[in-house]
Structure 1
């Protein structure tokens, strides 16, 4: 159960997410509104912000920004640094805005621009430039260079220990490096410094999710969405909330969250990909294909191409699947040219759809650089596909064993471990983990769910005899 640890820590107050009222839109057969959509007392109308002002506030606070506002901010800062090349602060803002634009559009050509702007800021003002150090940490996180992100973030904190915007960047770095104790310690300090901000609650939710505290993660994201300052920020937290709902197999809730995110911010392509994922599970294949295509067209992320390719493959459309896998390869090349470390997604692709030996090589190198839970799971699966099941089990256990940081409730991780154990003829733990995968999320993958069911059928019912001493298998949780 993922709530076993709940009694050992303070509980977040759970919000009521849906309130029945007359005259509201019908969602899932009930009249409902989200808390952040409820009527409020009229407030004085504030003057319209200057073009790009909302994006400036968002970028300097590490908050998701709307793409049109971001474009205006970038244009304004480009003009500013052309006229005033010694303005270190504007160079720092410009570099950080490029990072956000690259992240939102999956256009890695923004990252070299960002690095140039941020290094110029540091050159212009070498001492006391925490904003540029934060920008470098954000850039490194976006490129999946978590060691560099940690270095830049720690340098920023050494300069200004109470600068709260640095802490979320360090949390991402520590999580990517598999240092979950440091991530938790960083969150604790962040909550001391700035407990009420929506972005802080969202960061807390990410850590709760990684520790298997799904209810706390959902509550924190609900709070973040309710407290968001802009539609783009609110849409980002709704998208993450939709991810959580999908991960626990609550398809209707996931779809509502993703659709609400897209209504608030039509450029929220991660939510559109989430719609595709959820519509696939609901059997609404045509709509799922359309959602994925729109997401990929506007935000050509390799992960979306992989998911769309696997959807085509599950439908028996091999040629269409290969076309998407070719898109993935092209996008990886583009991102690598922008300095992004894409070995994880490329290794995952090679393990299932290419050359598992290439996958093992890529993922071993990735594990050496940044040994997080995602990499442990991917490397374990690549070793299994390459025929090294004993080596594979060690990494599969690291991804699913709380003692090694693998506390996240992931159907995919449990599936991988169960399939590896089946190949090793460890029937008890194999059956247990395959059943767990389908309990966590019976819809986790259009390709793998049928394989999990087939494997369980092949294992059959457990024999009518006592469990082995010590549990289902040695080393099992």
Structure 2
């Protein structure tokens, strides 16, 4: 149950009860103050408050008593009372350095960030410690208003004055965590508590992080450290009680709650925690009384509503459970545990339609929770909508990353199990169940998922006896037989299911699948068309129709059906994801983004949708949007390394490699063997010129994943960066042997080139092309090498093979034209023109095409192109030489001579310089 964060949030808004009134005394305020100070130093805050109130009764303007009383109120969570005392201390003449910082903290604790920003500015006469405190307070206020960049700047100012200011480091840690940089946050937090071990706020924050990570024992330890510094800290007491309850340490939690109760004898949070303790001890009546008191005091306290709903469920008071859980779900619509309980309560009182409303809303909120889906499927079965029921049950079973589903109660309350023990519990529930076969259904689906088809067939037969008029058991029987390759038996079961319910589309789709397996696609189409005639919007049928066309090889028809599935079921995730992937593959990022935004509006919390939205945003260049989306996804999937890897990619697109590194380290904390994160970390190291770090990562990959080519490939890249070309050859060769690919081949070829072993590189390319003649990348690399070596005829042969396969690449066409020109082949004009049509303003393309025309006797046409090339690239002497030749060939010798004179004066050395001099001499220059 996700209670802990709600408890902590609730504690933040507590207001402490007032202290006991002081007694009149002849003692002076100073004497009372001294007594109070002694109590304070011993942690006896209640006694200290009594003495301080006595002091202020004796002397209302006693500033030290005001300051200490405000400090105690602030420690105990009564921010309003604390602010009042600090203000009165100021009026009583307390030094600015004594009252200003705690006053600012009390304003922040009572939600008055704007007042801090308006009234707290460092003054010239302030000492360095006070200036640092003011900058920190401003940073906290700015962060409270969501102005995180400004908050970071204010913190830098504070830490410039006091580099190890613990409370400022703590705020910086919170900003790092808010920005998704968990590792940085942890480091800053560790620095903070090391700099000031008595900083209770630091220990509480450390405990909260541990709680969120599920490290409850560590959380308890850190909360105790906070209580050593501040024995009455409400956040620490409440957090400790919560951790103890979640650890099952109910007796310890009861004692912690008792301590909290000493401070707030009848506060709503105390009553809530008392109710939680009583519920954990199965004292349901007492739990109900405490939680009811909590709600009387704080009617909107959501955790109390939730807990009281659980109490009513366990007492069998289902209508009261519905009332409480219904109110809770309205306040916290994303809590699917509560939705499941509320849905189960509706089923228990015989209202499956109400259960469907509640559970369906959870699906629309983006839940892929298999337990909620399974319960929704059961609700649909209860009202006879078998196709929909099976659809949701299948969705539940298909959640690959979720544990297998088990039944804990006949009403459908679901929990998870990962091993064969889960199936044993299911079998036990089936034997004892009194319901209409729901537990049997889940058992069968679990067996099918585990590919235990014999057991599934037997269980489906048993269910058929219990539900003789339902098509569902027959459909499951058919699926089990299909898994056993009993195609005839499967067909009979599906056909019998359709005799019982002709519009049962699930069985119709399965029959179509059998026809597809036989290769009879027309028969499969007929089956699916019958299903669509009954319900043209049926998502499963539309998706099956699309997959059928994919099998037939008709991509356009498949896409048409996927679009229909999406248009007719705008809430459905599956067709939207297919369309998004299609648009991204087709290089249509904005179309992908349109689809992603539309499904995100309808399913804002579905991790699959968020991941697809982030990919679309990145492809469309909306990097900041992708970053925000990935942070939301990270909150939903805090243990998944893939999210942090995607976030690192987004940071790289923003040219923020340091943030990318932080994200990747967090990904590797979650999964030390996450290969994409390791490789991107290696790339960042190479980009920074740190070949040694990249080499270290490569060796780590090779050690942990010796069969992966990626480790050798990264080692090759690191060795290339370090100038160790022979070592790079060895590494790339090892990678290529493990995973033959064009990319690794070309990496190895470049390593050969750098190592001065060009001939071996060419042999490598020729051998590869003998095995993979269709590899255009390898053929182009060989053609480029031959071109560089002056073997124009052989280079032209390879370029032409690539072009003849339909490749219209500018560089390839231009190079082919040039190679043909060098061997005097008039075909150079054809390919030069094709390159020109692709890029009519590129000077190198104009030069190639123009020079081809000149050399082929079409100097007039060629001159026009060469003149334009010369204007666009006046720095390229070869172009100007070609233009001079064209001028001479068109009878404009004087202009040619002047051009050559200017050219050779400015560029005495270039590849055609000797030819230019000879031409100039022939022109009388």
TM-score (ref. length: structure 2): 0.27
Higher relative CO (Cα under 8 Å, sequence separation at least 6) belongs to 1
TM-score (ref. length: structure 1): 0.48
Choose 1 or 2 for highest CA Rg: 2
More helix by share: 2
